[in-house]
Amino acid sequence: MLRACHPECSATSGTPRRLAVILSGMPGNNANSPQGAPGPLRSICVFCGSSTGRNGRYRQAAVELGRSLVERGCRLVYGGGQVGLMGVLADAVLDLGGEVIGVIPKRLATRELLHPRATKMHRVASMHERKAKMGRLSDAYLALPGGYGTLEELLEVITWSQLGIHNKPIGLLNVAGFFRPLVAAFDHAVHEGFIRREQRGLFLVDSNPARLLDALAKFHPPRMPKWLQAEQT
């Protein structure tokens, strides 16, 4: 299993308003466990693509992840879509009787994009509110393969962990080596002095959905100094 971390970010006094919105509602840790300690994962936030990609293994992995979530009694929290890997994952959970919570900006809540069978759908005003809401509803984060949006969401929650805003487990499901170049880029940034070596363990990487979920349930991320408080924004 690989471990990696996110590129170092600078904390400044002029924190953007969008981070203020996120900070104001972000829980620091798993609400079901003592601060900083691993606990039962009842809700998993999954970031994934709005397309299925060229490799059939991506779709297969989404189905397997859905099955593994249901088997462990985990609720799926995701971006609310019915297209791409988002739809495949949500369908897999729902078809097995699991719970699916979608969070989607109102401008994207069209018939073409909105999943019609989600257990509950939250419509929010913006992409930033979407990420904050997903964070509040989840005990851990997991990323499947995806594009710019998936990578942006993943890197932001790693940044939140680096800044001490939350201490939740983060995992990358490395299907068909999809995240290998990203992890290699992080390793290069460590070597070049842009990522601190002690932050190398901010997330886990595994190619097996069930094994990754089990590892996240036991994972205790390294505690980072809390650089920002909500009242400082």
Whether 7 maps to a domain, the answer reads no
CB 175 within 8 A of CB 144: yes
Across the chain, the runs of DSSP E, i.e. the strands, are 2-4, 43-47, 75-78, 100-105, 120-124, 140-143, 170-173, 203-206
Whether 30 maps to a domain, the answer reads no
* Residue 144 binned pLDDT confidence (cut-offs 50, 70, 90): very high
**pLDDT score at 18:** 46
Considering the entire predicted model, what is its pTM?
Answer: 0.83
Cβ partners under 8 Å of residue 103, min gap 6: 77, 78, 79, 80, 121, 122, 124, 130, 133, 134, 137
Range of the domain at 54: 42-223
**What CATH number is given to the structural domain containing 101?**
3.40.50.450
**pLDDT score at 198:** 77
Q: What confidence tens digit (pLDDT) does each residue in 87-104 have?
A: 999 999 999 999 999 999
Task: Count how many Cα atoms sit within 13 Å of the Cα of residue 53 in the half-sphere of its side chain.
Answer: 21
In angstroms, the CA 226 to CA 117 distance is: 39
Query: Is the pLDDT confidence value at 137 over 80?
Result: yes
The more confident residue out of 58 and 221 is 58
How many structural domains are present in the chain?
Answer: 1
Query: Is the pLDDT confidence value at 105 over 70?
Result: yes
Q: In this structure, what DSSP letter does residue 7 have? A: P
Query: Is the pLDDT confidence value at 55 over 90?
Result: yes
Whether 25 maps to a domain, the answer reads no
Whether 196 maps to a domain, the answer reads yes
